[in-house]
Amino acid sequence: MADISAATLYERVSHPDSLDAAWRHLLARDADRDIPSDAVRRFAQSAPERLTRLSIELAEHQYSPKPLTRIAIPKDDGSERELAVPAVADRVVERSILMAVTPFADRRLGPSSYAYREGIGVIDAITAVAAHRDAGAGWVLRADVADCFDSIPREQALRSLLAMLPDPSLDALIRRMVERPVSTRRGLTATTGVPQGTALSPLLANIVLTALDEAITDRGFPMIRYADDFVVPTESLDDAWEAKRVATETLEPMGMQLGADKTEVMSFDEGFHFLGEDFGPRYPPAMHEHRQSEPLRRILYVARQGCRIFTRQGRVIVESKSDEELLSVPKNLVSRIVLFGSASVAAGTRSWALENGIDVVFLSRRGNYQGQHLSAANGTRVERLRTQIAVADDPARALGLARAMIDAKVAHQITLLRRLTSRACAEPVADAIRTMNRSRAMIPDATDRDQLLGLEGAAAAAYFPVLGVLVPAELRFETRSRRPPLDVINSALGYGYAVLLAECVAALVAAGLDPNIGVLHEASGKRPGLALDLMEEWRPMIIDQVVSAAARKGTLTPAHGQPVTGEPGVHLTKSGKEILVRGYERRMLQVTSGAIPEFTGTLRRHLYRQAKLLARAMRDPAVPWTGMSWR
């Protein structure tokens, strides 16, 4: 497929490659659903010619969608669901539109929405409900939205979607698609809401119902919504009824209401049905590992002080300073070596690592990043280095990339707070999110690096104190502290950031970029500027999430902090470091799709992909770089 990422949205939608991809998606979708369609078969007989004609009509602004056709689909309970189905050519165009706008809209939907989004679905929603039950929730509000698609405030949905897009080129076409009439035996009939059965309708429904998600989470309740079907787990019966009141209060101004048949307050002990599962006090289990990928090769972390790493007979061996063998693994199972503190690497091992592209990373005993060996095979190309310097020296281009990096970071911080919020902390969390959203709204208007860093600092000043109250009482902290960290959580955060920074350095080098030449952070001593830039959106998404999860599960405790004699600060114990590294690896091995358009893989692979996309954006000023979507 040609690279059309620098085109306007309309040009992307009308491009032959986009229409062909949309057609192939339509074919695959019908095949998966085993839907016999004479119209699709007829279109397929001359698909290349029809797609070419569609592309020309769109490019010349001569395309006009046909009215929808009303059909009835039987439901399992014997009733029928009415759909408004487009003609095949219109389905192709609408799918091409959806593919173009989803990367911009999906990042705004938040962590409560599980339907119609690539990479997450029914299993994730079921796991989320089960996890809240296992964490102590005994009651639920089980509800849906009555006549959801027909009652959606269409103009509000359209305005919200169009405001998310980077240019207005698709505005008129999207409006024509959504406002089409329906063809019936009595003639053409105007639609209300958004027509169920078209490709854009689920996205518009998700956008509108985001207000419901946020209203519920702002009150400190978790929200698991699949389309218009949702569950709010709570610790008490009164809280479940309060969640119902909030939902009703939020929907009414939009002309929507809860469904009378499905809306009910129930307990896990009594049991209830959601997304095909019968929930009870213990079943179904929370399947946290269902997206875990086990790699063929693993990272070797070495934190024992005074040890030695060498290779012998095809194996990597770690020995203590008293010559005790601590570890022996085949060389072909090692993807990287990360050393903390005083550990030595034999000359032969160093040569083997460099020849085979095995990074050797050096961190201080306390987890500060010091540097790493990188294979010459992954060295920066001269042309890319020249391009990178030119971007760093161009204030406008550097600021554009920096804005996107900080926007993604603040968005992910907000997502994490919404995931962690509780009834007891609802008010400070909601206040912090409002403050952070105000800072985020001003990011596009930042005129220089100092203003941007000021907005990032304002968001951080709201974020960290609230994060500090969302961990168990014995681990709470008031603000971010570094050099030295003053508590266990801050020590764990700093330790994790150093590990992540090393991965960012390697990802940038693999993409042909110099990790020291940043667009937001200037290189300073041992702090690689561009690696710090790339790491911004990953801090909350990886390290903050891992540390807060370990604290809330009780695997990270005050006992894992060790005061330093003769100086201020708290540092992680050996077992605390092991807990953090294990959690980090599990997180980086989680598989997702949709976080980056048309890309599937572990989060570690996503990090390398983001570095490559950053290199492409530096090479071509017309190609934007955007942060990932985290749900």
Q: Which of 117, 88, 93 is nearest to 10 (CA)?
A: 93
Asked if residue 412 belongs to a known ligand binding site, the reply is: no
**C-alpha dihedral sign at 220, 542, 596, 275:** negative
- CB within 8 A of 424, min separation 6: which ones? 220
Count of C-beta atoms within a 10 Å radius of residue 135: 14
Q: How far apart are CA 18 and CA 289, in angstroms?
A: 34
**Is 50 in a helix, a strand, or coil?**
helix
Residue 436 one-letter amino acid: M
- Annotated binding-site residue? 82: no
- Read off the DSSP letter of residue 2: -
For residues 321 and 342, is the Cβ–Cβ distance under 8 A?
no
Torsions phi, psi for 70 (to 5 deg): -85, 125
In whole angstroms, give the CA distance from residue 224 to residue 126. Answer: 9
CB-based contacts of 354, cutoff 8 Å, min separation 6: 373, 375, 376
Q: How far is CA 147 from CA 59, 114, 196, 516, 602, in A?
A: 37, 19, 10, 55, 38
Give the Cα separation of 361 and 359 in Å (integer).
Answer: 6
Dist CA 119 CA 130 (whole Å)? 19
DSSP at 520: S
Q: How far is CA 107 from CA 2, 13, 158, 432, 587, in A?
A: 25, 20, 17, 19, 20
> CA 152 to CA 348: how far, in whole Å?
67
* Cβ atoms of 504 and 531 closer than 8 Å: yes
d(CA 68, CA 197): 9
Half-sphere exposure of 88 (CA within 13 A, CB side): 21
132 is in an annotated binding site: no
Residues annotated in the binding site for Mn(2+), as ranges? 456, 521, 536
Residues annotated in the binding site, as ranges? 456, 521, 536
